[in-house]
Amino acid sequence: MYQQTPSHLYGGEALIHLHPHPIHWLHIKASYSYVIGKQKSGEYLPFIPAQRMKLEVKTTKDQFFWVKNLYLLGSIQYVLPQNQPSLFEQTSPGYSIVNFGLGTNIKLNDQTITFNLNISNIFNTEYIDHLSTLKDMNILDMGRSINFRISLPFSIVNK
């Protein structure tokens, strides 16, 4: 049974985006988020996310032979263990997820075609997020995911 009680919810998020001018093709992003939720009695609130850190490195190239807007992207997300569960929750272990992506535009005549390839959870890490509603049934979150996209925009030309 849950009861309403005075509580405090606080935390923060920090993001750093480095884009050095001498090497304008490089982008580095790092983020960190943390939330704390406590009742006035000192017990923790339910469904509070674990601390998260993410590092992302992206390289871009405006023109490379016949392709335009080429990019390569790699990221790692590290979720710390959630060791501050509420009375009716269990702790959750930490995990790391590695992702990769690349994409470009190719122009054929007057038509631009966009290609993207994204791989999430490259190493097929088995994990259950602390906020998953399927956690109690021990059902894992998504494993490796490979997505390929081709985008061919259509336009109407008035003559």
Q: Which domain range does residue 33 map to?
A: 7-151
Helix (H, G, I), strand (E, B) or coil at 137: helix
Using CA atoms, how far residue 78 sits from 51, 64, 74, 83, 109, in Å, is 9, 33, 14, 15, 44
Average pLDDT over residues 122-138: 91
Is 65 inside any structural domain?
yes
Q: Give the total residue count for the chain.
A: 159
What's residue 156's pLDDT?
Answer: 63
Q: Identify whether the C-beta of residue 121 lies closer than 8 Å to the C-beta of residue 145.
A: yes
Residues of the chain with pLDDT > 90, as a percent, come to 60
Is 1 inside any structural domain?
no
Q: Which two tokens stand for residue 93?
A: 């272990």
Residue 157 has pLDDT above 70, yes or no: no
Residue 95 has pLDDT above 90, yes or no: yes
Is 90 inside any structural domain?
yes
Number of domains in the chain: 1
Report residue 96's pLDDT band, with 50, 70 and 90 as the boundaries: very high
What's residue 24's pLDDT?
Answer: 86
CB atoms within 10 A of CB 123: 10
Q: Over the chain, what is the mean pLDDT?
A: 90
What's residue 9's pLDDT?
Answer: 92
Is 98 inside any structural domain?
yes
Average pLDDT over residues 21-31: 92
Is 158 inside any structural domain?
no
Is 91 inside any structural domain?
yes
Residues of the chain with pLDDT > 70, as a percent, come to 96
CA 5 centroid distance within chain: 33
Is 159 inside any structural domain?
no
Is 157 inside any structural domain?
no
